[in-house]
Structure 1
């Protein structure tokens, strides 16, 4: 609210209230005294001067100090409102300006306050030990708005630093999330590249078999059977490619890696690896896995492998684990549970994206993945992958 009309309202209200209080106080305290009219004018002008205190704290402070001297000269009790207004202006200077400028403002206000207190008949007011005490009290009064202004300045700076750090943290999280999503998209492409290529090669092989059957043996029935299988395989590949294109919208090329396995083989290999390491594994896979689109099957296999790897790392030999893959209301559900460590184990640091990366991958397919501790001290990973109907 440093600019615009809305920023003037607090100062306007402050100035009007201060002018009203100054008018009321001088009317009550200077009634019947000489120059009471001048005291009223000084008080009202001092109050109205606060309207510009936030934007022009230094000019307002100088003006209020001048009004303190003028009020002291023309009326005996005409300096209360200017002194209060000058203290407010000093607080704004301390809030906005540097330490040297604040010290100069403090010196100006303190000097004018001392001059305001001094009268022709009070020349020895600040002499002796009692005079030093009076000066210390006046310095404390002048230091109060400085301390309050500097405190608010520190609070504002801390709030700005906290807000900037929050923005930086939010930006960093957004970048990390995007990097994880891109990494998982690349991972999906690597997983599916060789499998889709395998299906295309199977199509070409079956087409060659049909051609050979017709040209060499004249077996039309065999050729029709092969062509039917060819049509089914081609339709399956098209459905899987359609699902893949829904997920991979990044046109960047991805280098394939060799040796990719079918999702079912990935699950069997993960089961064998953890069983050989001393973890008892029970795997239950329904026919829904084979019937699911390739991108869903591959993601399910990666979830199983990651979850069993975590079981091996954190539960260790002697633990028991179970893998359950089934269909549920138009979705493929993957649940991996373990019994937890048989003896206390030190906490291991996370490596790679882990389950966070799997959560991103599942999210790309419109599914959900949860990981939480079980009542028996073990761990459960559950993924739900929707199976879209091909049209």
Structure 2
């Protein structure tokens, strides 16, 4: 209720200002013209009618045009405020209505204006060469509110179209982001499936070794060693299953993938392809990668793969790239730095989710990934992957 009252203030202010100015003009008349009481009444009334122009522009236009005709018939100076108010109402009609309605409103306003200008016995004002010029000028003045209203309508339409496109772009971005999240979850699911399968096979092998040692050789030391290895492997399986439960909160059907490859082999294969493309590459991988849980190591290898692909795409042959995988307190650090293109290259459009998908994958494991330009014109990709202790 309060908001509705406040929304009337612009029109109310417009009406009061128009009424006040109209009343002032009827009091400040040129010498030789009579001071008419009714002229002031018509001016005040014409201004107050403008209060409803935003909500009822057609009704206000008709009322103002009728007031112009009445004031023209009864006073000498009482039509000015009504004429101006009718032009304002015509502009609102042009802004709100379609072209046929705007044309009808213009015809009404123009007719009232002609009646006001061409008084009985004074038709000479629109005859002859001077009359034609006055007629053209009058037509232009009457069309000005229409042009202004249609212009504002076009601006408003353009703004609405731009807002709608922005909403559509935001929706598409949200859909693409969700698709990237699901794709990375599916990739992690494939990796974890192979990792857990690998560990389960190892558990079965060590359990068989322990059984064989007890049943066939009677060597308790071999059985104890096998059982210790069995316990360690089971702990790794629990870690990987915990990661699986924490990451895959949105299960989705996935297609079968190639067998799991060790992280070191993934990095070696990616390095070989980049070197074959003409990029000078230096790779430094510490032993922390082999000691890390397979899900963390595989993610680190995927980050290296994606960063090398990005470097090959944007830096190109002839560039130099360094890869470093090292440990830090509580996890792994992956850094891939390139020197930038050796010659100007065109800006290529993105071809997938790229580093954005890798950032999602790293984030699902509790890590962070950053990618930014370096001061020497190159590019640095850095990922931090925490290693959670086995509870």
Length-normalised TM-score, structure 1: 0.90
State the alpha-carbon separation in 2 of the partners of residues 278 and 83 from structure 1: 79
In structure 1, the partner of 2:338 is 338
In structure 2, the partner of 1:264 is 264
2:275 touches 2:281 (CA, 8 Å); kept in 1?
Answer: yes
Distance 1:337 1:134, change over 3 A: same
In structure 2, the partner of 1:75 is 75
Secondary structure of the structure 2 residue equivalent to 1:381: strand
Shift of 1:311: 4.1
Shift of 1:141: 1.3
2:64 touches 2:85 (CA, 8 Å); kept in 1?
Answer: yes
Secondary structure of the structure 2 residue equivalent to 1:304: helix
Which deviates more from structure 2 when the two are superposed, residues 316-325 or residues 288-297? 316-325
In structure 2, the partner of 1:144 is 144
In structure 2, the partner of 1:286 is 286
Shift of 1:309: 3.4
Which deviates more from structure 2 when the two are superposed, residues 89-98 or residues 333-342? 333-342
1:193 touches 1:256 (CA, 8 Å); kept in 2?
Answer: no
In structure 1, the partner of 2:225 is 225
1:133 paired with 2:133, answer yes
State the alpha-carbon separation in 2 of the partners of residues 289 and 168 from structure 1: 43
Shift of 1:343: 6.2
Secondary structure of the structure 2 residue equivalent to 1:385: strand
State the alpha-carbon separation in 2 of the partners of residues 203 and 331 from structure 1: 26
Q: Unpaired segments of 5 or more residues in structure 1?
A: none
Secondary structure of the structure 2 residue equivalent to 1:119: coil
Q: Unpaired segments of 5 or more residues in structure 2?
A: none
In structure 2, the partner of 1:363 is 363
Secondary structure of the structure 2 residue equivalent to 1:370: strand
Q: Residue deviations 1:278-331, cap 9 Å, x none?
A: 544332222322333332211110111222334445555555432111123434
Shift of 1:34: 6.5
Secondary structure of the structure 2 residue equivalent to 1:124: helix
In structure 2, the partner of 1:9 is 9
Shift of 1:345: 6.5
Shift of 1:340: 4.8
Distance 1:45 1:372, change over 3 A: same
State the alpha-carbon separation in 2 of the partners of residues 345 and 386 from structure 1: 36
Distance 1:303 1:189, change over 3 A: same
Length-normalised TM-score, structure 2: 0.90
Q: Residue deviations 1:8-33, cap 9 Å, x none?
A: 22112211222222223323439997
In structure 1, the partner of 2:209 is 209
State the alpha-carbon separation in 2 of the partners of residues 34 and 378 from structure 1: 84
Distance 1:302 1:104, change over 3 A: same
1:195 touches 1:261 (CA, 8 Å); kept in 2?
Answer: no
In structure 2, the partner of 1:189 is 189
1:319 touches 1:341 (CA, 8 Å); kept in 2?
Answer: yes
Distance 1:30 1:55, change over 3 A: farther
RMSD of the TM alignment (CA)? 2.7
In structure 2, the partner of 1:24 is 24
* Mapping 1:290-305, distance limit 5 Å: 290-305=290-305
1:35 touches 1:74 (CA, 8 Å); kept in 2?
Answer: no
2:195 touches 2:295 (CA, 8 Å); kept in 1?
Answer: no
Distance 1:286 1:346, change over 3 A: same
Secondary structure of the structure 1 residue equivalent to 2:332: strand
Q: Residue deviations 1:56-81, cap 9 Å, x none?
A: 11111111011011111222111111
Shift of 1:53: 0.8
State the alpha-carbon separation in 2 of the partners of residues 349 and 24 from structure 1: 65
